[in-house]
Amino acid sequence: MRKKIVAGNWKMNTLPAEGVELAQGVVAKSAEVCDCVNFIVCPPFTHLAQVAEALKGSKVELGAQNCAAEAKGAYTGEVAASMIAALGCKYVILGHSERRQYYGETSETLNKKMEQAYANGLTPIYCVGENLDEREAGNHFAVCKAQIEEVVFNLTEEQFKNLVIAYEPVWAIGTGKTATAEQAQEIHAYIREVLAAKFGELAAECPILYGGSCKPSNAAEIFAKEDVDGGLIGGAALKAEDFIAIGKGFMA
Ligand code: 13P
């Protein structure tokens, strides 16, 4: 049985006090959802420590939104994987389309970040997904395949066992336009096939999350699909009630 995961990517939102309040709300409401659903929140670096404190003793886990490609040293402004691990993070989002697009992250950089994540006991949530032009040209399969082959195929089997993948079509992120449940299932099944070519039956154990305008009103339908194991949530993760309601999509 694959893990069911609902992860909140807060992006560059919330001040520390707001983040703590949001985390407390998520903790309080998480009791309404069966323990079979794993909730993760990924606040900005600046309040990871305070949010970790707010999550203590709850089933809600902590992740960061990025980490440096290097272990430590003269890299002004960067945050090392060891630092976020020391603050209590279990996960780190890597390869988000916003980082690929605005900060020029390439597969080469991401390979280094993945190594840093594993070296520090973190589980990467590795994001893949095509933009609108690529989807319209029918290249979405090839784009996702390349993003996986260039990074995930470099992992050992042991590392792969500790990986979460998020499929996030760029055209659905923050646009209100969600992929249909059928579109999500189609590409999730394809991604699993690509993973199986390298990792064999271990591919059946890898959680693949959907991300892109996922909200309480569409989560249940998307999560009902066989190869969709949860969601990576942006906007709707900023309200505890909506975030938890998305988790309830598994109970529908
Ligand atoms: P939205 O849910 O706001 O579309 O963002 C999705 C996302 O990018 C999560 O990483």
115 is annotated as an active-site residue: no
- The predicted pLDDT at position 1 comes to 82
**Exactly one of 98, 105, 168, 188 is catalytic; which is it?**
168
- The predicted pLDDT at position 250 comes to 92
How would DSSP label each residue in 34-61?
A: -TTEEEEEE--GGGHHHHHHHHTTSS-E
Residue from 232, 242, 246 whose mutation best tests the ligand 1 pocket (most atoms within 8 A of CB) = 232
Longest dimension (CA), the chain: 50
In the structure encoding, which two tokens stand for residue 149, read together?
Answer: 């082959």
Residue 251 has pLDDT above 90, yes or no: no
Q: Residue 28: pLDDT band by 50, 70, 90 thresholds?
A: very high
pLDDT in tens, 99-150: 999 999 999 999 999 999 999 999 999 999 999 999 999 999 999 999 999 9
Structural domain boundaries enclosing 124: 4-251
**Nearest atom, ligand 1, residue 11 CA:** 10
Cα–Cα dist 134/160, whole Å: 27
Backbone angles phi, psi at 229, to 5 degrees: -110, 15
Site of tokens 């975030």: 243
Count of domains in the chain?
1
| Mean pLDDT across 215-224 | 96
Alpha helices by DSSP H, listed for the chain, are 16-30, 48-55, 81-86, 97-102, 107-119, 132-136, 140-149, 157-160, 181-199, 216-223, 240-247
**Span from the CA of 9 to the centroid of ligand 1 (angstroms):** 7
**DSSP code of 86?**
H
**Exactly one of 47, 61, 96, 130 is catalytic; which is it?**
96
Cβ proximity of 149 and 194 under 8 Å: yes
Residue 177 has pLDDT above 90, yes or no: no
- The predicted pLDDT at position 93 comes to 98
Assign residue 243 the CATH number of its domain. 3.20.20.70
Amino acid sitting at position 93: I
Return the percentage of the chain with pLDDT > 90, whole number. Answer: 96
- The predicted pLDDT at position 176 comes to 85
The structure's pTM equals: 0.98
**Nearest atom, ligand 1, residue 213 CA:** 4
**Span from the CA of 78 to the centroid of ligand 1 (angstroms):** 23
pLDDT in tens, 42-73: 999 999 999 999 999 999 999 999 999 999 99
168 is annotated as an active-site residue: yes
**Span from the CA of 4 to the centroid of ligand 1 (angstroms):** 18
- The predicted pLDDT at position 252 comes to 78
| Mean pLDDT across 155-168 | 98
**Nearest atom, ligand 1, residue 176 CA:** 4
Residue 96 has pLDDT above 90, yes or no: yes
